[in-house]
C-alpha cells in the first residue's frame, strides 16, 4: 500500500505498481515497469487501458509507455491528442505535466494478431525529485465506444442464457464498428430471458439528491425473468462525466468527488412503472447503496465501468454516496440511527400495524436497550407502514 502525500491509495484491491511506495524517485533515474506478454490474437482493434497517477518535476522529468513485439526493439506507444488522458508533450512524445489524481489512461495498440510487451518508463534529472508514477488495473480489450452524447443512447435489449460468461449490451453489435457499449451482465448461470436496458444521459448541470452528486447517466434494467440469486453487472460511463462531477459546484453541501474510484452504486427496486430512470416517482420501492469498497471501477477506453454484484435489478445511478431522497423508504440494506434523550432505561419497540412489540438484540438490530440505536438492515416488513418508538 503506498504511503505518500499524493500517491496514498490504490484504485482497486490492495497493491499497485509505483516508483517508490513511501518516498520520492531518485535523481538521474531511468526506470521501467515491463509487462508480461499479451496475446492480441482475436482482437480487431486492441486498446491498452490502465489506472494512472503521476507527480513529476515539470519539464525536467518525464514518463511514457513503449511496446515491443520481440522484446528487443521498443517503440513509443501513441502520440499527443490520441487516446484518453494520453501524452501532453508534443516535442518529446511523453507526459511532462503531473496528473495528481487517479484516472483512466488508454490508447489504441497499433498491432494485431501478435504477442506484445509493454513497458512504462520514467526518467529524471539531477535536483528536484517528486513522488513519481503509479499504475494499476492494466488490461487489453477490444475497442468499444462509451456513448458520450444523447444521440448515442438508445433503448436496447439482449438475450441472456444460463451461462457464467459476461454478456455485453452493444449498440450496433460490431456492425457499426467499433460500436457502443452500455452495460454487461453475468447471470451466474441464471436464464433471465430478454433483458431490456434503458439508459438516460443528462443534458444539464451535474445532478444531486440527498446531498450527493451523481454521474450524468443512469440505467433502468428489466429482465424477462427475475433473478433468484446474485448477478454481476457492469455499467459504463465516461471520464468526461467524472470530471464534470469532480468540478461541480452547484450543491454546496455535497461532498466533493476526488476521483472515479470513490464511486459506488445507488439502486432502486420497485414497481415496473417506477423503474424508469427517474428519481421523481420512486415511492413504493426501496433503495440500496452498494458502497465503493464493493464496487470495482475499472478503466476502459474513454472512461470506466463500475462492476458490482446484487440480487435485484431496477434503476441504477453512479454516486459517491446514497442518493435516495430523504423521504424515501429505507429498507433494505440501509443503516439509520434512532436517538432518545428521555429516561435512563430503554427498550425500543416496533409497530407493524398490530400494536407495539419489543425489538430484541440480534444480527439486524444490534443494540435495542441504549439511548442511541442503529438498524443496520431493515428487519421490518417490506410492505405497509412500520413505526419505531
Question: Within this chain, do residues 168 and 302 fall inside the same structural domain, yes or no?
Answer: yes
Q: What is the pLDDT of residue 133?
A: 98
Give the CATH number of the domain where residue 268 resides. 2.60.220
| DSSP 8-class letter at 84 | B
Give the CATH number of the domain where residue 105 resides. 2.60.120.200
240 lies in some domain: yes
64 lies in some domain: yes
Q: What is the pLDDT of residue 88?
A: 97
Listed residues 115, 139, 163: the one ending a domain? 139
7 lies in some domain: no
144 lies in some domain: no
Listed residues 277, 293, 319: the one ending a domain? 319
Question: Within this chain, do residues 171 and 65 fall inside the same structural domain, yes or no?
Answer: no
Question: Within this chain, do residues 382 and 258 fall inside the same structural domain, yes or no?
Answer: no
Number of domains within the chain: 3
Question: Within this chain, do residues 258 and 365 fall inside the same structural domain, yes or no?
Answer: no
Question: Within this chain, do residues 271 and 371 fall inside the same structural domain, yes or no?
Answer: no
25 lies in some domain: yes
| DSSP 8-class letter at 113 | S
Question: Within this chain, do residues 125 and 195 fall inside the same structural domain, yes or no?
Answer: no
Q: What is the mean pLDDT of each run of 10 residues along the chain (389 residues)?
A: 94 95 96 96 95 98 98 97 97 97 98 96 96 97 84 75 88 63 94 91 91 94 93 96 96 95 95 85 88 97 97 95 74 53 66 66 49 46 39
Q: Which domain holds residue 312?
A: 150-319
Question: Within this chain, do residues 168 and 267 fall inside the same structural domain, yes or no?
Answer: yes
274 lies in some domain: yes
Whole-angstrom Cα distance, residue 222 to residue 192? 9
Question: Within this chain, do residues 111 and 34 fall inside the same structural domain, yes or no?
Answer: yes
Whole-angstrom Cα distance, residue 290 to residue 320? 10
C-alpha cell at 300: 476502459
Question: Within this chain, do residues 160 and 290 fall inside the same structural domain, yes or no?
Answer: yes
DSSP-derived secondary structure for 327-378:
TS---SS--EEEE--S-S----EEESSS-EEEPPPSSSS---SSSEEEESS-
| DSSP 8-class letter at 273 | T
> For residues 75, 81, 84 and 87, what is the CA-based torsion angle, rounded to 10 degrees?
50
Whole-angstrom Cα distance, residue 356 to residue 349? 6
CB 306 within 8 A of CB 265: yes
Q: What is the pLDDT of residue 162?
A: 84
Listed residues 106, 139, 172: the one ending a domain? 139
2 lies in some domain: no
Question: Within this chain, do residues 116 and 40 fall inside the same structural domain, yes or no?
Answer: yes
224 lies in some domain: yes
Which phi and psi (to 5°) does residue 60 adopt?
-125, -30
Question: Within this chain, do residues 292 and 175 fall inside the same structural domain, yes or no?
Answer: yes
Question: Within this chain, do residues 164 and 300 fall inside the same structural domain, yes or no?
Answer: yes
Amino acid at each position: 500500500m503506498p504511503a505518500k502525500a499524493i500517491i496514498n491509495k490504490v484504485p482497486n484491491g490492495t497493491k499497485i505498481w509505483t516508483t517508490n511506495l513511501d518516498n520520492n524517485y531518485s535523481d538521474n533515474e531511468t526506470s521501467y515497469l515491463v509487462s508480461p506478454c499479451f496475446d492480441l490474437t482475436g482482437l480487431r482493434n486492441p486498446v491498452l487501458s490502465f489506472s494512472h497517477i503521476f507527480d513529476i518535476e515539470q519539464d525536467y522529468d518525464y514518463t511514457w509507455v513503449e511496446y515491443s513485439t520481440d522484446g528487443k526493439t521498443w517503440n513509443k506507444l501513441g502520440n499527443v491528442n490520441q487516446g484518453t488522458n494520453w501524452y501532453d508533450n508534443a516535442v518529446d512524445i511523453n507526459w511532462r505535466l503531473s496528473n495528481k489524481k487517479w484516472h483512466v489512461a488508454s490508447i489504441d495498440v497499433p498491432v494485431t494478431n501478435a504477442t506484445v510487451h509493454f513497458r512504462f518508463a520514467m526518467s529524471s534529472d539531477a535536483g528536484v525529485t517528486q513522488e513519481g508514477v503509479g499504475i494499476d488495473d492494466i488490461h487489453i480489450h477490444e475497442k468499444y465506444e462509451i456513448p458520450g452524447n444523447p444521440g448515442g443512447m438508445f433503448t436496447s435489449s439482449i438475450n441472456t442464457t444460463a451461462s457464467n460468461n459476461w454478456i455485453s449490451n452493444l449498440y450496433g453489435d460490431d456492425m457499426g464498428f467499433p460500436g457502443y457499449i452500455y452495460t454487461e451482465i453475468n447471470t451466474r448461470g441464471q436464464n433471465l430471458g430478454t433483458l431490456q436496458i434503458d439508459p438516460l444521459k443528462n443534458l444539464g448541470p451535474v445532478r444531486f439528491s440527498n446531498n450527493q452528486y451523481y454521474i450524468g447517466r443512469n440505467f433502468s434494467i428489466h429482465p424477462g425473468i427475475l433473478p433468484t440469486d446474485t448477478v454481476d453487472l457492469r455499467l459504463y460511463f465516461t471520464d468526461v462525466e467524472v470530471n464534470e462531477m469532480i468540478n461541480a459546484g452547484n450543491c454546496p453541501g455535497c461532498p466533493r468527488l476526488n476521483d472515479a474510484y470513490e464511486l459506488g452504486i445507488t439502486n432502486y427496486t420497485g414497481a415496473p412503472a417506477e423503474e424508469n430512470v427517474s428519481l421523481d416517482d420512486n415511492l413504493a420501492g426501496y433503495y440500496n447503496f452498494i458502497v465503493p469498497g464493493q464496487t470495482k471501477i475499472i478503466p476502459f477506453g474513454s472512461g470506466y465501468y463500475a462492476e458490482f454484484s446484487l440480487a435485484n435489478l431496477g434503476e441504477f445511478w453512479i454516486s459517491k454516496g446514497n442518493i435516495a431522497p430523504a423521504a424515501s423508504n429505507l429498507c433494505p440494506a440501509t443503516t439509520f440511527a434512532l436517538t432518545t434523550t428521555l429516561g435512563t432505561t430503554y427498550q425500543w419497540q416496533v409497530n407493524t400495524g398490530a400494536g407495539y412489540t419489543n425489538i430484541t438484540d440480534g444480527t439486524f438490530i444490534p443494540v435495542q436497550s441504549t439511548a442511541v440505536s442503529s438498524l443496520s438492515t431493515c428487519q421490518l416488513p417490506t410492505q405497509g407502514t412500520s413505526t419505531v418508538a
